[in-house]
Amino acid sequence: MATEDCYNLAMSKLLRRMVGEAQYSKFKPLGHRFDYLWWIARGKPVRSPHLLKQMTVAEYGRRYGLRTLVETGTYYGEMVAPMRKHFDRIYSIELDPQLAEISRQRFAGDPSITVLEGDSQVLVPKVVAELTAPALFWLDAGYYGVHPAHGDLSRLLTELRAILSSPVAGHVALMDDARCFIGAENKFTAAQLVAWIEKEFPDRKAEIVRDIFRVTRRESAAGA
């Protein structure tokens, strides 16, 4: 994770503690808008603002007619909350018990949202096995870790395999932070991950746009 990301995380944690989770969540969307405008003003650097990620997730759901969203890495539910109006069903998976509980309480009144506590590499295959219609996956559970050397890439490959080899055709996967895939410690670079996906799953197209990996079905496969 870059210094800027660490700084932003530390600031948001501090603010959350100071004003309380409920107040913070209420005003956070304003912060996302400001962050987005600030990103444009800086000439759209590689690290994209959260609002752009929200727009991308909503757009892919619309474009591929996907009504279910599966997220890894709930964090404080900042993707779940705005996606409620774009999807009929949302599953979000969080490893940290405290964070999972905060989101469980936050979304307790909404039966369309399920926050699952546990390791994404265990829970993604389970959720995939239950799906009967294609879904959009937002893979955002820190696969490259706080430092690139600490992430667990095998976890990501396990999840991608479960999603892309599912008998339910048409799952689409988006994954954040492509810039972090720098190939440290013999791990994939971003380009190598794209190549791995397309080799293992020839009916899929993988590309990186604005720091987000996008894995979709090739048009020839989709029409088959």
Near ligand SAM in 9-48, by CB under 6 A = none
Question: CA 81 to CA 214: how far, in whole Å?
Answer: 22
Q: How far is the CB of 220 from ligand SAM (least distance, A)?
A: 32
**159 scored as a contact of ligand SAM (CB under 6 A):** no
How many other C-beta atoms are found inside a 10 Å radius of the C-beta of residue 221?
15
Pick left, alpha or beta for residue 145 (phi over 0 → left; psi -120 to 50 → alpha; otherwise beta).
left
Q: At what angle do helices 21-41 and 50-63 cross, to 10 degrees?
A: 90
The strands making up 113-117's β-sheet, listed across from edge to edge, are 113-117, 89-94, 68-72, 136-139, 172-175, 212-217, 204-209
Site for ligand SAM contains 151 (CB under 6 A): no
Decide if residue 119 touches ligand SAM (CB under 6 A). yes
**Measured CA angle at 81 (ends 78, 84), to 5 deg:** 145
Q: Is 79 a binder of ligand SAM (CB under 6 A)?
A: yes
99 binds ligand SAM (CB under 6 A): yes
Site for ligand SAM in 43-72 (CB under 6 A): 71-72
Minimum separation from the CB atom of position 186 to ligand SAM (A): 20
Query: Does residue 78 touch ligand SAM according to CB under 6 A?
Result: yes
**180 lines the binding site for ligand SAM (CB under 6 A):** no
By C-beta, is 17 or 203 nearer to ligand SAM?
17
Tell me the C-alpha distance between 129 and 125, whole Å: 6
99 versus 153: smaller Cβ distance to ligand SAM: 99
Taking the least distance from each CB to ligand SAM, the nearer of 75 and 87 is 75
DSSP code, position 117: E
- Report the DSSP beta bridge partners of residue 115: 92
Rule CB under 6 A: which residues touch ligand SAM?
71-73, 75, 78-79, 93-96, 99, 119-120, 140-142, 155
